[in-house]
Chains A and B, each alone.
Chain A
């Protein structure tokens, strides 16, 4: 590649000095030869040449000095000229700067956020010495939670650590706090709701409010090295005092938000879960400790019995409660600490309940301190990589855009450069000039990008913080644009800009001296023309991929919303009973009955039922046998979802019964019958009529809760088939569902479903007062089934991804249109002459317009073809997010391609039309 060598020659400062020497040595040699030819003897001829030349080394130095001084001087010249050129071609400058700024800015924002979210460590003084303590089981299962007695064993036993801390976060009820109670609904994110259709569940009870607290070991702040903002904080030796005087700390964020920075909060007594605590201090603003969110309050673990009466957390070795973090002692490595922790873990294992997971062999793992679990959920990783890939694609479009603009301009500048060359500018000088222009452009773009990134981050973070109700704590993200990332992204785009910015110089420097004046305006160098088309095609292809995937994701999430049951007028109420011994099974049951009865009489309520909503949590699976009872537990049977519902469940949520009958509404005790969904019937009997068939379920080895009714050892007769309801699983496996009649005495374990006459909002609001009357200690979480559907993980992911790709896709589209417009405009300028000839020879305007459009659409069509192929690959990767929508959804593919073609035509039309306005006389006069 000739041009590479030519670029390289610009940077060889070393060889410039060598050239000076060579030049002078040539002179000496010639003089010597001259002397000899004039009859001098050899040594004398050389001596004479040297004398006449003067001090060789000093002259060499002087030449170097001259070079050194001229560089900054001529750089100044270049800069001035560059600014003038950029200002003169303000359209080009604006387009290139905007394109680069968008690409760089968007990338900086996304990668900064990614780093802020996933790359953060524990917030501590000398944070590098903080570590997480975990155990890995035999099957690779990860366990980062320990019981309090185990924590004490590590704290007191491990000499590798200078301090070991424990933490757990819980939500408690706060009362008698004083001050104005915050309106929680206004905090819910407007952006999130508008963009994602996502609404957070409301918590409601009578007059109490909810608040997140962090329960911590009393040495927590000592080990992390944190100081109080006001008042004092817990210290390692405070245990006895903290037990005697229950104390709490408030975070500065909540202090400001909830109490308006009222200084009298320190010393105030507040009730958490009914127990009194005194606020003794305020933790610094945004201090998150070992979490990602600042809790509203900090309470020492030793006070846990007050918050959760009846729970033996402090003494019960089998009660897993807390995450453990530690600070490495001086000079101890993680590997050494891991060895010691392994020893302690092996000793503790024998003390655990032999049936519990903690009694199973495991190996210790010490890893760098992080508030995140060791393994981040694969769904999050997937969507995060999707987002990052998308923004990288935008950068690709932006770079291709600027590159094609540069190339187009290069062709247009061929004349100017040839002129400068023939006026004596050296090749290096011309190249340096173009480099200066490209770098100037990049600096402008960088400045714009930094502003753009900063603004976007502000908006995103403010909106994000707003999304969370204040009782959940404050999310803390450190989000100034990350300069390392910024520099990296800027570097890439500068490189792209410079590389293509040099094209005209290389093109022109190819031409031999003097020959450059044969200025031919009509010959656009075919090589850069091809490159330009390739760049346009690249932009089109990448952009189309973004648009098609965006369309697929949007259609996928719309598809997911097409459920067969009523979502708008059904409320789901989950009851949360206090976690203590006073609430026995009997008490919970009678409370649940009373609440249901009271709610049924509320105005606007049509009916109530009990059961898991189709998109609710708490799914259960069992292996199903259609054969004999004994075989259900054996391997080889299909594992399907099952759930218990009250007889009126199907009617209440409007899920159509397709065949057979529903459950008998009159029986109090459950009859041994089952209903199956269409898909379940198809899986189990493959087309046979399922009515009257017998099934056995086995939950052996499957997860289930304490005291939960189990379907084992009962022979169920299938009495009816219902429509598939859809559900929470990405793979659609929960389309197959077995419904079993719910025993009436288990209703407190399931959600209460409320069918309303019309708008569920007033009913939802009055639920709080019902709970307050029945028992103020009981928490209720209310949401409509629609909200629950919107909250399901896959729905959220695909909706988020859809919103994001739409935004990114529109940026891409904008950039691609700019690219097409710019390239076609330059093409028109270059071919003015040709068009003039054509028109002089009788071509009509329409012919010319057709010609220009055809020429400019060629790379676009190539790009669309390539984009379609890439999009097929992309949609294959995304298939899990498409909710059963075909990955080759015709509407998305064809629709987007047509739309793109249309937009590209419009972008090409305007500059093409200018070509038809060329006056043939003017065009030909150039000759």
Chain B
């Protein structure tokens, strides 16, 4: 399978989805929209690949899904965070903050020039 340019975001995609679902149950489109608007259109989810990711997460037991009615009365699949998923989010968030901190340290390092 050809690597898409967004592949390096895969790991963070999971975290972003989990975080979004902390707000409550959402369908895939809602998650896409949520991430886009909160990030001021900076983060753009490759929309199709969101779904395989959601399925894998469901099988991991992090999220659960159920069919429901969307705002405009169409059948849509709603995802919600499970207890296991909450734990996972906490772990990922902690890990991410550590990485951000570490990357920040590296990036802000400037050796004193003699």
Binding site for B on A (CB under 8 A): 19-20, 22-24, 26-27, 29-31, 34, 52-56, 59, 62-63, 66-67, 70, 74, 423-426, 513
8 more A-B contacts (CB under 8 A) besides A66-B56, A424-B61, A425-B64? A20-B51, A53-B47, A54-B48, A54-B49, A56-B48, A59-B48, A423-B83, A424-B82
Answer yes or no: B75 CB below 8 A from chain A CBs: yes
Could you list some 10 contacts between A and B, CB below 8 A?
A19-B77, A23-B76, A24-B48, A26-B76, A30-B70, A53-B48, A54-B47, A63-B55, A66-B59, A426-B65
Contact yes or no, B52 A62, CB < 8 A:
yes
B65: nearest residue on chain A (CB-CB)? Answer: A426
A67 and B47 in contact (CB under 8 A), knowing A23-B28, A26-B29?
no
B29 A424 Cβ-Cβ under 8 A:
no
- When the two chains form their complex, are residues A23 and B51 in contact, meaning their CB atoms are under 8 A apart? yes
In Å, the complex CA distance between A59 and B67 comes to 20
Considering the complex, give the chain B residue whose CB is closest to the CB of A26. B76
Binding site for A on B (CB under 8 A): 4, 27-29, 32-33, 46-49, 51-52, 55-56, 59, 61, 63-67, 70, 74-77, 82-85
Known: A19-B77, A66-B59. A26 touches B47 (CB 8 A): no
Residue numbers in A under 8 Å from B67 (CB-CB): 19
**Given the interface contacts A63-B55, A66-B56, A423-B84, does A27 sit within 8 Å of B74 by beta carbon?**
no
Residue of A nearest to B81 (CB): A424
A54-B46 in contact (CB<8A): yes
Shortest CB-to-CB span from B16 to chain A, Å, is: 17
Instruction: Enumerate chain B residues within 8 angstroms of A53, measured Cβ to Cβ.
Output: 47-48
**Contact across chains for B84 and A26 when beta carbons are under 8 A apart:** no
Chain B residues lying within 8 Å of A424, measured Cβ to Cβ, are: 61, 63-64, 82-85
Residues from chain B with Cβ under 8 Å of A27 in the complex = 27-29, 32, 47, 51
Asked if A31 and B52 make an inter-chain contact with CB atoms under 8 angstroms apart, the answer reads no
- Say whether A26 contacts B61, CB under 8 Å: no
CB pair A63 B51 closer than 8 Å: yes
Known contacts A26-B70, A423-B84: does B29 contact A31 (CB below 8 Å)? yes
Q: Give the number of A-B contacts (CB < 8 Å).
A: 74
B residues near A23, Cβ cutoff 8 Å: 27-28, 51, 76-77
- Which of A52, A70, A513 touches B47 (beta carbons < 8 Å)? A52
What A residues does B55 contact at CB under 8 A? 63, 66-67
Measured between beta carbons, the chain A residues less than 8 angstroms from B74 are 26, 29
Q: How far is the CA of A52 from the CA of B33 in the complex (A)?
A: 13
Q: Are B66 and A513 in contact (CB under 8 A)?
A: yes
List the B residue with the shortest CB-CB distance to A73.
Answer: B59
B52/A63 in contact, CB under 8 A: yes
A797–B82 Cα distance when bound, in Å, is 67
Decide: A59 near B51, CB < 8 A? Known: A22-B75, A26-B29, A423-B83. yes
A52 to B64, CA, bound (A): 26
Closest to B29 in A: A30
The 7 closest A-B pairs by CB, nearest first: A424-B82, A54-B48, A30-B29, A424-B64, A53-B48, A70-B59, A59-B48
In the complex, chain B residues whose CB is within 8 Å of the CB of A425 = 61, 64
B46, B55, B66 pick with most chain A CB within 10 angstroms: B55
Q: Which residue of A lies closest to B58 (CB)?
A: A426
**B48 touching A66, Cβ below 8 Å:** no
**Which B residue's beta carbon lies closest to that of A22?**
B75
Closest Cβ–Cβ distance, residue A72 to chain B (whole Å): 12
Name which residue of chain A comes closest to B56, CB basis. Answer: A66
Contact A26/B48 with A31-B29, A66-B56, A423-B84 known, Cβ cut-off 8 Å: no
User: Whose C-beta in chain A lies nearest to the C-beta of B75?
Assistant: A22
Query: Given the complex, which residues of B lie within 8 Å of A24, measured CB to CB?
Result: 28, 48, 51
Least Cβ–Cβ distance between B55 and chain A, in angstroms: 5
Q: Report A-chain residues with C-beta under 8 Å of the C-beta of B28.
A: 23-24, 26-27
Would you give the shortest CB distance from A642 to chain B, in whole angstroms?
A: 87
Closest A residue to B4 by beta carbon equals A54
By a CB distance below 8 angstroms, the chain A residues around B29 are 26-27, 30-31
Q: Are B83 and A31 in contact (CB under 8 A)?
A: no
B59 CB contacts on chain A under 8 angstroms: 66, 70, 74
Residue of A52, A53, A63, A424 with most chain B CB atoms under a 10 A cut-off: A424
Compute how far the CA of A505 lies from the CA of B56 in the bound complex, rounded to whole angstroms: 24
How far apart sit A26 and B70, CA to CA, in the bound complex (Å)?
A: 10
CA distance A55 to B48 in the complex (A): 7
| Bound form: Cα–Cα A425–B64 in Å | 7
Q: How far is the CA of A62 from the CA of B61 in the complex (A)?
A: 19
Nearest CB on A from B58, distance (A) = 8
CB atoms of A31 and B61 under 8 A apart: no
Closest to A422 in B: B83
Min CB distance A57 to B, Å, is 10
For residue B49, which residues in chain A have a CB less than 8 angstroms away from its CB?
54, 59
Q: A26-B29, A423-B82, A423-B84 are in contact. Are A31 and B47 (CB under 8 A)?
A: yes
Chain A residue nearest to B28 in the complex (CB): A27
- In the bound assembly, the distance between CA atoms of A66 and B60 in angstroms comes to 12
Q: How far is the CB of A27 from chain B (nearest CB, A)?
A: 5
The verdict on A426 contacting B64 (CB below 8 Å), with A27-B29, A31-B47, A74-B59 known, is yes
Q: Look across to chain B and name the residue whose beta carbon is closest to the beta carbon of A56.
A: B48
CA distance A442 to B49 in the complex (A): 42
Which among A27, A31, A55, A513 has the greatest number of chain B C-beta atoms within 10 A? A27
Residues of A near B56 (CB, < 8 A) are: 66
| Cβ-closest chain B residue relative to A20 | B51
B19 shortest CB reach to chain A, Å: 17
Q: With the chains together, A19 CA to B64 CA distance in Å? A: 15
Complex: how many Å from CA A52 to CA B32? 11
Nearest CB of chain A from residue B111's CB, rounded to whole Å: 43
Contacts of B85 in A (CB 8 A): 424
Could you tell me the distance in whole angstroms from the C-beta of B3 to the nearest C-beta in chain A? 13
**In the complex, which residues of chain B have a beta carbon less than 8 angstroms from the beta carbon of A26?**
27-29, 70, 74-77
Q: How distant is the Cα of A26 from the Cα of B46 in the complex, in angstroms?
A: 16
What's the least CB distance linking A509 to chain B, in Å? 12
Contacts of A34 in B (CB 8 A): 33
Residues on A with beta carbons closer than 8 Å to the beta carbon of B63: 424
Q: Smallest distance from the beta carbon of B96 to chain A beta carbons, Å?
A: 23
